[in-house]
Amino acid sequence: MTCPCCQYPTDVRRPAWVRWPLSGLLHCQNCGHLWQETVEPMKYGAEYVAGYAGRPTVELSWVRLAFLWLYKKSGRILDIGYGDGEFIRQASRAGFFTMGYDAHGDDIGVPVVKDLQPGVFDIVTMFDSFEHLPDLNEPFKAAPSMFVVTVPWLPEGVTDESIRAWRHYKPNEHLHYFTEKSLRAVFSRHGYGMETREPIEDIIRKNPQSSPNTMTFIFRKVII
């Protein structure tokens, strides 16, 4: 078994990863990535989507669009893990051609694609969704020129004991817990380099501690 991000190999002199017995996570000794080894698949159906009710998804969509606008003012967006579809609606109103791709498959009134094809979209957004994916390679099938990704910001110095009290520790839902190094590694493997990172959503989704709650990254295809 290798790390799903950096694919650090096992060496007889040094294990590539160690098992955290309390949280049930594996910890990469190279990039710091944490991931769940054994998974009971969740059902992302209507009940899960209903959980978005009462959340500031409209306001979050505006923040996300304002950030995107600084780097890309037009284009074809595929929103992977679109949830209640609010970002798709707001991005479409802002002039982007926007569709969604999500595991729940429920019809919530937004245009969707059933599979990922290269060359169709030049922007892929993944807001609070990348950490849910069993296969981190899947989004790269879309082969966009740009990714916008928001993930929970892993606390510095987190341990097997402390992670269970973290607000984003969600077994069987969050399957991956990224460090910046591990996130850069998985995108680098697919030919993308990091352009910027900002805790943009902390305007709305504040962390009770002083550290960021989530971090939003932009990755672009590296042209050789």
Task: Please say if the pLDDT value at position 137 is more than 90.
Answer: yes
Residue type, 197: R
Q: What b/e readout covers 199-222, taking b as 16+ CB neighbours within 10 angstroms?
A: bbbbeebeeeeeebbbbbbbbbbe
Strand runs (DSSP E) across the chain, as ranges?
Answer: 17-20, 25-28, 34-36, 76-80, 97-101, 123-127, 146-152, 176-177, 192-198, 214-221
Q: What is the mean pLDDT of residues 100-119?
A: 88
Class of domain 56-221: alpha beta
Sketch the domain layout of the chain as residue ranges. Answer: 56-221
Tell whether the torsion through CA atoms of 96, 84, 111 and 143 is positive or negative.
positive
Task: Please say if the pLDDT value at position 21 is more than 70.
Answer: yes
Task: Please say if the pLDDT value at position 4 is more than 70.
Answer: yes
**Model confidence band, residue 216 (pLDDT cutoffs 50, 70, 90):** very high
Q: What is the mean pLDDT of residues 162-180?
A: 96
pTM for the structure as a whole: 0.93
pLDDT at 10: 61
pLDDT at 223: 80
Task: Please say if the pLDDT value at position 224 is more than 70.
Answer: no
Q: What is the mean pLDDT of residues 95-113?
A: 88
pLDDT at 202: 93
- Count Cβ atoms within 10 A of the Cβ of residue 119 and give its class: 0-12 exposed, 13-18 middle, 19 or more buried: exposed
Block residue for tokens 């306001």: 59
- Which of 10-14, 51-55, 159-163, 192-196 shows the lowest mean pLDDT across its residues? 10-14
Q: What is the mean pLDDT of residues 18-27?
A: 94
Among 81, 101, 63, CA closest to 213: 63
pLDDT at 47: 77
Q: What is the mean pLDDT of residues 48-52?
A: 78
pLDDT at 17: 87
Structure tokens at 140: 């790269």
170 phi, psi to nearest 5 deg = -135, 90
SS3 107: coil
**Model confidence band, residue 11 (pLDDT cutoffs 50, 70, 90):** low
